[in-house]
């Protein structure tokens, strides 16, 4: 078999034929699977939006406000420092004050509020077994 080059030289060229074969097989697999991905049963329906006001306005609720500068208040009481543990303590205090764990939480935030602060409130709500939470659209911050 003639390789060319001088005697004693090592062959350093890469044989691309097997690599091309692998890529063609992968291409055929992708072409066969692509139509199946569109028919997946992963259909998610968004929650229904109701324009009617809640029927039970007398039920106690917890309101959490997150400001752009990182201040968090629960029913008007500031949380200092605003970490998940202190937020959980404030929510549990409201639950004990109203003698019920089944209280909805309404989360308000400024437009420029940090995501970590909003997520801290959500984590605390989950830790306090809050079953119903409404996240309102962000308030405009007024900064331009």
pLDDT tens by residue, 61-110: 899 999 988 899 999 899 988 888 999 999 999 989 988 888 888 898 88
63-135, which class in CATH? alpha beta
pLDDT(117) > 70: yes
Q: How many CA atoms are closer than 13 Å to the CA of 25, on its beta-carbon side?
A: 6
Other Cβ atoms within 10 Å of 101 Cβ, number: 13
C-alpha torsion 79→82→83→88, nearest 10: 30
**Taking a C-beta distance cutoff of 8 angstroms, is the pair 106, 136 a contact?**
yes
Tell me the pLDDT tens digit for each residue of 10-67: 878 888 999 999 999 999 999 998 887 766 555 556 666 655 655 656 778 899 999 9
Specify the pLDDT at position 1: 47
**Cα 95 to Cα 125: distance, rounded to the nearest angstrom:** 11
Query: Following CA atoms 73, 69, 124, 111 in sequence, which dihedral angle do they give, to the nearest 10 degrees?
Result: 100
């Amino acid at each position: 078999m003639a390789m060319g080059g001088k005697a004693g030289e090592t062959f350093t060229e890469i044989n691309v034929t097997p690599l091309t074969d692998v890529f063609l097989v992968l291409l055929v697999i992708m072409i066969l699977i692509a139509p199946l991905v569109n028919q997946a049963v992963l259909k998610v329906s968004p929650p229904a939006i109701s324009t009617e006001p809640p029927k039970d306005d007398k039920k106690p609720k917890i309101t959490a406000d997150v400001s752009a500068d990182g201040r968090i208040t629960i029913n008007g009481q500031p949380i200092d420092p605003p970490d998940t543990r202190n937020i959980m303590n404030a929510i549990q205090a409201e639950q004990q004050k109203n003698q019920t764990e089944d209280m909805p939480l309404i989360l308000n935030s400024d437009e420029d509020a940090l995501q970590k602060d909003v997520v801290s409130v959500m984590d605390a709500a989950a830790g306090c077994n809050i079953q119903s939470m409404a996240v309102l659209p962000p308030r405009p911050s007024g900064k331009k």
